[in-house]
Every structure is written in structure tokens, then in C-alpha cells.
Amino acid sequence: MRELRSEWRNKYAMSGILLYLLSIIFLITFTFEETDDRTWMVLYWIAILFTSVNAVAKSFLQESEGRQYYFYTLASPQHIILAKMAYNAVVMVVMSGLALLFYIATQGYPVEDDASFLLAMLLGALAFASTFSMISAVASRAANNGTLTAILSFPILLPVMRILIRVSLLALTGQNLAMNAQDLLYLAALNIFIVVLALILFPYLWRD
């Protein structure tokens, strides 16, 4: 997990993302002033989605050729993608937690069923982290890759967002965890599926 530590040194990027998140939430606060429950939830997820594009999607882009070559000699591709995903998962969980805190402070907290919502948040953060890690590895091989990551990953993430928002909207109305269990299990399975796919496919990208 050398990767994790070397990423951690890059704190400027992190604080940049934090600033980005803050400005989104302030924007929501002073444009909406008061949100109804449904809007609250949907805006929250959109804020998370766009934050994760900026936080995680760059993970392979910001590294120089030399550094990638250095990693290449150091570790197997499976280790590298796993380390990236693990690091990005931590970033995403922390970010969505912080986002929630800011959001509660400015907009209140209408959720009835905490367990479902928090689980959805966790699973969503993991799904975003793994998908964006993989797609940013794909995009880093192409020219003008900044926009490319978003183009390549949004269609893949749309259905995930759909399930996440469905679970969260149900959580608003105070359904219990059992109601959402099927969707949450499905999200968890999807997470595992994405990680396995990435482990199989990433070595082909890394072989430059």
C-alpha cells in the first residue's frame, strides 16, 4: 500500500476538491434557500456525482509518464488498480460524509430511514470510486482526457444513480431497511462486479 501513502502526500488536490464541494453546496443554499425533501436528495446526489468526477476521475491523469513507469517496475497491475480503488474509495467516503455534514448544516436533514440512506451513500461512494478509477485509467491513454472521463463514465453511472436515488427517496418517506434490501444488495453485487472486471481488464491498459 505504498500507493496510498504516496497519494496522501498530494494534499493540495484534496483541499481543492473540498473547496469545490463547498462552493457547490453554497450555490445550492443561496439559489434554493429552502428545498423540499425530494429536491434535497436529488441535489445531494448531483453534488456528489460532480465532486467525484473532479476528485477521483483525475486519479490516473495527473500522474506523469515517468511516475507511471516507476510504478510499473514496482508493482503488478492488479495491485496498482486495487490500491487506486481503495484510495479513491476512502476519498469518496470522506467526501460524501463531509458533503452530508455541510449539507445538513445549511439545508437540514429530512431523511427518516438513516440506515438505508447511509448504506446507499457508502455503496454509492464505492461504486463511483471504482468506476471512475477504471475509466480514468482508460481515458488517461487518450488525448484531451479531461472531458473524456466524464463522457465515458456518465452513461455507465446513470443506472447506478437511478438505483441510488430510488433507495434514497424511499428512505425519505421512512421505509424500513427491509424495503430497500434488494436494491442495496444489488448495488453491493454491482460493486464487486465492477472491481472484478477492472482487475481482469486493467493489465491490458497498463502494458504500455
Partner 1 sequence: MINQLHKRWWKVLGAVLMLYTFTAGMMIQVPARFVLHETIRNLFFHVPVWFTMILLLLVSLVQSVRFLRTGKMVHDIMAAETAAVAVLFGCLGFLTGMLWGSFTWGDTFSWLFADTKILGAFIGLMIYAAYFILRGSINDEEKRARVAAVYSIFAYMLLIVFIFVIPRLTDSLHPGNGGNPAFSTYDLDNSMRTVFYPAVFAYFLTGLWIASLRVRVRILHYRKHHINVL
Nearer Cβ to partner 1, position 21 or 135? 135
Least distance CB 203 / partner 1 (angstroms): 10
Q: In one letter, which amino acid is 12?
A: Y
Nearer Cβ to partner 1, position 148 or 172? 148
Nearer Cβ to partner 1, position 115 or 151? 151
Nearer Cβ to partner 1, position 4 or 142? 142
Residues in contact with partner 1 by CB under 8 A are 134-135, 138-139, 141-145, 148, 151-152, 154-156, 158-159, 162-163, 166, 182-183, 186, 190, 193-194, 197-198, 201-202, 204-205, 207-208
Q: Which residues contact 87 (CB under 8 A, 6 or more apart)?
A: 3, 4, 7, 59
Least distance CB 133 / partner 1 (angstroms): 12
Q: Of the candidates 170, 35, 27, which has an alpha carbon nearest to the alpha carbon of residue 107?
A: 35
Q: Of the candidates 89, 106, 118, which has an alpha carbon nearest to the alpha carbon of residue 21?
A: 106
Least distance CB 83 / partner 1 (angstroms): 19
Least distance CB 74 / partner 1 (angstroms): 22
Q: Of the candidates 141, 111, 138, 115, which has an alpha carbon nearest to the alpha carbon of residue 45?
A: 111
Query: How far is the C-alpha of 172 from the C-alpha of 110, rounded, in Å?
Result: 7
- Backbone phi and psi for residue 174, each to the nearest 5 degrees, phi listed first: 80, 35
61, 140 Cβ separation under 8 angstroms: yes
Largest CA distance in the chain: 54
Least distance CB 170 / partner 1 (angstroms): 12
Q: In one letter, which amino acid is 120?
A: A
Nearer Cβ to partner 1, position 100 or 150? 150
